[in-house]
Structure 1
Amino acid sequence: MTITERQNLILDKIIEEYIASAQPVSSQGLEKKYNFGISPATVRIEMQKLTETGFLYQPHTSAGRIPTDKGYRFFVDNIIESNFRDFDDKKFFEEFEQIEKVIDDSLKFTQLLTKNLASASSSLALSYLFDKDFLWKEGWEEILGEPEFKETEYISNFTKLLKSFEENIRGFEVPSKIQIYIGKENPFPKARDFSTIISRCYFPKKQEGILAILGPKRMAYQKNISLIDSLIKLLEKY
């Protein structure tokens, strides 16, 4: 379903605000922060249209809006189609230079690389080496700090998702380019509240493997897609 350019802009800003705050986004808050060049009433009408067409959801009558899976998918597809920018976090690349010092120890290199990926993405990061059947994960401290993880059921479902990921990764058909699974798109059970960014890659010495980021659907897609893409390009040099 197509939406107007104005609705696209409003949807983008709502998703960006929700990613940053984890709180439903109200029309009043949106109007105060952004100059859309239209009246407050028109902003409310456009938000209502986006809700009626399934891009937004209103958890309570008096609450603001949050993105649906459909809204997130539209947002992510726009990021991919716009040729997302390279990741430019100076600290990340400085830490990668330190990781390079253990490049001859593939397991140690993978562990440190995964830890760096988790820290930069504020998500759970996983790396898998096919020939060594070695899976490493990092980022519990980062992921458990997200507000969604205050709920016991949420933690339980995430643990089940991770267990399923670990059990099936060896036979999972991972594409050669970055793939983003949002909510029910995930090929794993108990994943309706989470998103996965995953891709095949080549670790040093041309060892084929997988890089993945798992986290709430309310993740920083622009940053994390760029992060995975930039990391894959770095690894290709070895």
Structure 2
Amino acid sequence: MSLRDELSTFESGRLVLSVVGMPHVCPAVPIEFTTMTDARFRELDNGEDVEIIYTYPIPQLHSVDAVDEWIGPWFADRNITTHIDFNFASVNADAKVIHTEDGKRLSYDLLVGVPEFKPSPLIAESGLGETWMEVDKHTFESDHADDVFGAGDVTNIPTSKAGSVAHYTAGTIVDRVAALARANTPQTIFNGDSICFIQAGTDTGSHMSFQYDAEPVIRDETEFVHWAKLT
């Protein structure tokens, strides 16, 4: 609500969207915010008055190579400035300046940060993992406790922190628990299935899908995908 209110009155100046740390929840979030904000300001006829800057903490614009390759030209076409390998050290809120670990400074009028996602200390305290809940990436069975399964963003499975992963995870766990309850050997396994919709502005969208053994592929932007995401 606060961000909505800030954006509704922001008519000129420098808006910085910065991914503060990795991993972040939902791989599409920083891309979608940037593309939708740019489109909205253009619709309001003050796109020329707002400078949008996008920063990411690794040496490319996104952790997924396919997204990095797709979004680079998109940003360039719309004069969105980008900074990679941009790692926060501190923020001076009074002066409105970001300081990076390598000594750079970036001023802003409005800063929107995407925080690093960290699991609850409960995971380590309960012995289920050092930081993340450690599970088998195909069955979600705990590496440290019998009859315990892990689902969602707190696990250490090697894929994105996306809602679709939790969705597919749930089906795998339900099937396996149901089999165990019937004294059967569980057969269902998870192969890293994930799908991620990516809004590209306010009226078109793209999406990507991937598995453990299949690299992500970005689909063409269409209005149909935009409406599919909304439904």
Please state which band the TM-score falls in when normalised by the shorter chain: under 0.3
Normalised TM-score (structure 2) = 0.28
Quick check: which one's helix share is greater? 1
Given the two structures, how large is their TM-score scaled by the length of structure 1? 0.27
Higher strand share: 2
Higher RCO structure (Cα 8 Å, ≥6 apart): 2
